[in-house]
């Protein structure tokens, strides 16, 4: 896909975007849909699954968020945001019609071209589903380009499951194999119980043509990677989307440096092979 | 290359006076027992012959605090400060040592590239730099080890002290030539004898600057030593004050904060110097800290300079200016760190034992 970068005079100045929809997903996470105020931005702003934007709450600050919508859906951006600090709390107070600043897209994104023709296993822990959802929907919208698709998704409890409607929709597709689990169920929960790695017992994979795409909190990587290596997925076919503190998003502030790489420019998506070359990465 | 000139050292005052009509002039001035880069309102205060300065000239290109933009919260308007910056009065920066000229070239690489930092380059373009050759070593520096005692670019004029109390003046850019023309009568075109005097000065420099630290292989040694106990030992005394990063000409990391004004109708977005030594540097929301221990942060500073920077930019991210050593309250010397690190790998394994 061709990357149309917006040539701007000053990379740090955000474009204005309006909140057009707000959908509460859990007590902590809400899905926000934004539309650029300037009409031409709808065509200029193109992105890849796995890229992120810097969102400005004017007067509070700026923070990076993965784009959760798929580029196959044009004209708007969806961000799934967890309430956790100054900027994110303020975002949750936004009302439809309010204006924020957005700049980007930044980061390398998932290698959609080289994933073509491959079987894909998505493994998401908690909020890790937010960035993966962009690629999942991209794959669904270009279904013929990809092989078998499996999704493993785990959260701590049923009330923390994100995108419940969409999970149901994915479940209904016969060319997507979705497995959801929770660390601890409640009275109504009929599904799997156990951490996300327990899902590996549910399915036998042929790994010659398998790529795995993983996103979750730091703890998830260690355990999921071990499972993936155990079933024989190649280190260059395990893709991890990493999180680091970010200020600039464009390789200047050095906050996101891991080993000799910058998460905002070289990442946030790295292969396990790369990650092993980078000190303190996972 | 433009033809070089010679000038009398005492004529520097005349140059500064002439330049003051067009530029704000900055350069080394005395501050208590040390020197700092400061504004030169009186040419008598300019010190051309100084050991080092507390802060590097980085502050003129990346100020400690810099307002990037303002927000009008009622109108949802973003006011960029770039135009203001581009309208600022040109500046003349005097007597910048070779190591610091190289430091500025480092910053050019960081702030340039695909996502060019326009604030940095607005300041850079507004500044004319007069460099000066150090013919003798300074107290803490080790420029020769880092190969920063030479410069081929980064200056507009470059002065080398030569015999007869004169400077040999090399012109690096049209901006430099412009400066010459502001006080044309103090400059004479250099002749063959002046070139001889210049060569003699370089010879003196070559004999006098020590080669103290061997950084060959440092990239590889860093990779090999990541889990070595050496770092814990080295970091024991570091109090994570960040002074080393503040004084460094090639440390550039910054934090960004929004400040609401009292009426809550407008806000400024400001970036401020930060340091990877600080505890919150890699701390993310939710409480996870990617470099929790002080030793991890101490180690990281060296990895970023000598490994990460080398990877990104193809050169080591240290100019050997020695300021971090001069500033450290715990007397940690970067030369010692580098020497001991190389020592781990360059001493025969039997003699060294350990990992
Ligand atoms: C590439 C990337 C993608 C992300 N995608 C999402 C997402 O889709 N949904 C979501 O809810 N969160 C996401 N995050 C995390 C999100 O950026 C942080 O939760 C957010 O920065 C917290 O800001 P705050 O002001 O509310 O918290 P505070 O603790 O008040 O943080 C202050 C500032 O520190 C920085 N900071 C703190 N934590 C982080 C962090 N984890 N990552 C980067 N910068 C941080 C930010 O500049 C932030 O404004 C992502 C982070 C990265 C790096
Ligand atoms: S690390 Fe120390 S010696 Fe090297 S450039 Fe920075 S302050 Fe100077
Ligand atoms: S100046 Fe010295 S004590 Fe302070 S952070 Fe740097 S190395 Fe540590
Ligand atoms: S976020 Fe600033 S360098 Fe990556």
**Rounded Cα distance, B138 and B150, in Å:** 15
**Within-domain flag for B57:** yes
Q: Which of A62-76, B88-102, B231-245, B254-268 has the lowest mean pLDDT?
A: B231-245
Give A174's contacts (C-beta < 8 A, 6+ positions apart).
Answer: none
- Mean pLDDT computed over every residue of chain B: 91
Identify the pLDDT of residue A1.
38
Average pLDDT over residues B281-294: 82
Quick count: other Cβ atoms within 10 Å of Cβ A170?
20
Show which residues on chain A lie within 8 Å of chain B, measured between beta carbons. Answer: 9-14, 16, 57-62, 84-85, 88, 99, 101, 217-218, 243-245, 247-248, 250-255, 257-262, 279-280
pLDDT band for position A195 (50/70/90)? very high
Q: Give yes or no for residue B354 having a pLDDT over 60.
A: no
B102 is a domain residue: yes
Q: Is residue B90 located within the same domain as residue B16?
A: yes
Contact call for B115 and A11, based on CB within 8 A:
yes
One domain for residues B190 and B281: no
Same domain, B203 and B247: no
Confidence label for A9 from pLDDT (cuts 50, 70 and 90): confident
Same domain as B203, residue B279: no
**What does the pLDDT read at residue B204?**
96
Q: How confident is the model at residue A278 (pLDDT cuts 50, 70, 90)?
A: confident
**Any domain includes B213:** no
CB contact under 8 A, B307 and A85: no
If pLDDT is split at 50, 70 and 90, which confidence band does A233 have?
Answer: very high
Residues of A in contact with B293 (CB under 8 A): none
Is residue B60 over pLDDT 90? yes
Chain B residues in contact with A257 by the CB 8 A cut-off are 304, 308
pLDDT confidence band for B352 (50 / 70 / 90): very low
B48 and B186, same domain (yes or no): yes
Cα dihedral B187→B192→B195→B199 (10° resolution):
-160
Nearest CA in chain A to B260: A59
Confidence of residue A4 (pLDDT cuts 50, 70, 90): very low
Measured between alpha carbons, how far is B169 from B161 in angstroms, rounded to an integer? 9
Question: How much of chain A, in percent, has pLDDT values that exceed 70?
Answer: 97
Residue among A13, A244, A252 whose CB faces B290 most closely: A244
- Which is more confident, B192 or B291? B192
Lowest mean pLDDT among A31-45, A131-145, B22-36: A31-45
Domain count, chain B: 2
Q: Based on the domain organization, do B68 and B166 belong to the same domain? A: yes
Q: A112-241 — its CATH code?
A: 3.40.50.80
Residues B44, B185, single domain; the answer is: yes
Contact A75, A42 (CB under 8 A): yes
pLDDT value at position A43? 82
Q: Is B58 touching ligand 2 by the criterion CB < 6 Å?
A: no
Of B208, B228, B261, which one is at a domain's C-terminal end? B208
- Quote the ipTM score: 0.89
Q: Is B281 inside a domain boundary?
A: yes
CB B146 within 8 A of CB B320: yes
In chain A, where the domains are located: 15-106, 112-241
Q: What percent of chain B has pLDDT over 70?
A: 97
CB contact under 8 A, A257 and B115: no
Range of the domain at B169: 5-208
- Nearest-10 Cα torsion for B237, B238, B239, B244: 140
Residues B200 and B268 in one domain: no
Using CA atoms, how far apart are residues A157 and A216, in angstroms rounded to an integer? 15
A to B CB pairs, distance under 8 Å: 112
For residue range A106-148, what is the model confidence (pLDDT) as tens digits? 999 999 999 999 999 999 999 999 999 999 999 999 999 999 9
Mutate-to-test residue for ligand 2 from B248, B277, B310, B313, highest number of ligand atoms within 8 A of CB: B248
> Higher pLDDT residue, B307 or B108?
B108
What pLDDT is recorded for position B353?
45
Shared domain check, B92 and B236: no
User: DSSP secondary structure string, A188-247?
Assistant: T--SEES-GGGGGGG-----TTEEEEEES-HHHHHHHHHHHHHTT--GGGEEEE-----S
CATH number (3.30.1490.20, 3.40.1390.20, 3.40.50.850, 2.40.30.10) of A15-106 reads 2.40.30.10
Whole-number Å distance, alpha carbon B207 to ligand 2 midpoint, is 23
Residue B285 CB less than 6 A away from ligand 1:
yes
Q: What are the pLDDT digits (tens) for B195-224?
A: 999 999 999 999 999 988 888 888 888 888
pLDDT for res B346: 78
Q: Are residues B157 and B252 in the same domain?
A: no
pLDDT at B1: 67
Q: Write the pLDDT tens digit of every residue in B107-165.
A: 999 999 889 999 999 999 999 999 999 999 999 999 999 899 999 999 999 999 999 89
Q: What is the pLDDT of residue B350?
A: 53
Q: Is the pLDDT assigned to residue A62 strictly greater than 90?
A: yes
Residue B189 dihedral angles phi and psi, to the nearest 5°: -65, 140
């Amino acid at each position: 896909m061709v990357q149309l970068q917006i040539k701007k005079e000053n990379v740090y100045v955000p474009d204005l975007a309006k909140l057009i929809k707000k959908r509460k997903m859990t007590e902590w996470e809400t899905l926000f849909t934004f539309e650029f105020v300037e009409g031409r931005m709808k065509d200029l702003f193109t992105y890849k699954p796995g890229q992120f934007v810097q969102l400005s709450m004017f007067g509070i600050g700026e923070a990076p968020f993965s784009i959760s919508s798929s580029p196959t859906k044009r004209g708007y951006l969806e961000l799934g945001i967890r309430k956790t600090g100054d900027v994110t709390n303020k975002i949750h107070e936004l009302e439809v019609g309010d204006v924020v600043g957005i700049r980007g897209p930044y980061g390398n994104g998932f290698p959609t071209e080289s994933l073509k023709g491959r079987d894909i296993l998505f493994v998401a822990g908690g909020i890790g589903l937010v960035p993966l959802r962009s690629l999942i929907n991209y794959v669904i919208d270009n279904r013929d380009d990809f092989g078998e698709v499996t999704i493993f998704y785990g959260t701590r409890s049923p009330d923390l499951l994100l995108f419940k409607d969409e999970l149901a929709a994915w479940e209904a597709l016969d060319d997507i194999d979705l497995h959801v689990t929770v660390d601890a169920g409640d009275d109504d929960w009929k599904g799997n119980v156990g951490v996300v790695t327990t899902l590996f017992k549910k399915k036998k994979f042929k790994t010659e043509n398998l790529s795995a795409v993983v996103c979750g909190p730091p703890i998830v990587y260690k355990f999921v990677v071990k499972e993936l290596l155990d079933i024989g997925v190649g280190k260059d076919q395990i893709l991890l989307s990493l999180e680091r503190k970010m200020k600039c998003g464009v390789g200047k502030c050095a906050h996101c440096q891991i080993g000799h790489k910058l998460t905002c420019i070289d990442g946030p998506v790295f292969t396990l092979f790369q990650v092993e070359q980078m000190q303190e990465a996972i | 290359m433009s033809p070089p000139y010679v000038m009398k050292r005492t004529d520097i005052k005349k140059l500064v006076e002439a330049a003051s009509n067009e530029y704000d002039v900055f350069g080394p001035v005395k501050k208590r027992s040390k020197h700092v880069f400061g504004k030169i309102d009186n040419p008598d205060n300019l010190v051309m012959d100084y050991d080092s300065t507390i802060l590097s000239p980085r502050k003129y290109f990346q100020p400690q605090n810099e307002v990037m933009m303002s927000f009008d919260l009622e109108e949802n308007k973003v006011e960029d400060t770039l135009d203001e910056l581009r309208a600022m009065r040109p500046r003349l920066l005097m007597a910048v040592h070779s190591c610091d000229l190289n430091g500025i070239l480092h910053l050019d690489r960081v702030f340039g590239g695909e996502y060019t930092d326009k604030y940095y380059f607005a300041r850079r373009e507004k500044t004319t730099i007069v460099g000066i050759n150090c013919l003798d070593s300074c107290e803490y520096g080790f420029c020769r080890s880092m190969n920063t005692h030479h410069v081929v670019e980064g200056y507009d004029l470059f002065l080398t002290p030569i015999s007869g109390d004169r400077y040999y003046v090399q012109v690096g850019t049209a901006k430099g030539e412009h400066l010459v023309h502001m006080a044309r009568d103090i400059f004479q075109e250099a002749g063959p004898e002046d070139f001889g005097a210049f060569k003699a000065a370089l010879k003196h420099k070559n004999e006098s600057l020590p080669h103290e630290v061997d950084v060959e292989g440092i990239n590889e040694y860093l990779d090999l030593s990541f889990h070595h106990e050496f770092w814990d030992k080295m970091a024991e005394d570091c109090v994570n004050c960040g002074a080393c990063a503040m004084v460094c000409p090639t440390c550039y990391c910054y934090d960004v904060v929004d400040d609401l004004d009292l009426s809550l109708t407008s806000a400024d977005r400001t970036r401020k110097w930060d340091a990877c030594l600080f505890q919150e540097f890699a701390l993310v929301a939710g409480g996870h800290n990617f470099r929790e221990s002080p030793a991890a942060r101490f180690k990281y500073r060296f990895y970023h300079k000598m490994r990460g920077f080398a990877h990104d930019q193809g050169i080591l991210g240290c100019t050997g200016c020695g300021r971090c050593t001069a500033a450290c309250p715990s007397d940690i010397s970067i030369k010692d760190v580098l020497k001991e690190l190389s020592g781990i790998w360059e001493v025969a394994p039997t003699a060294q034992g350990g990992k």
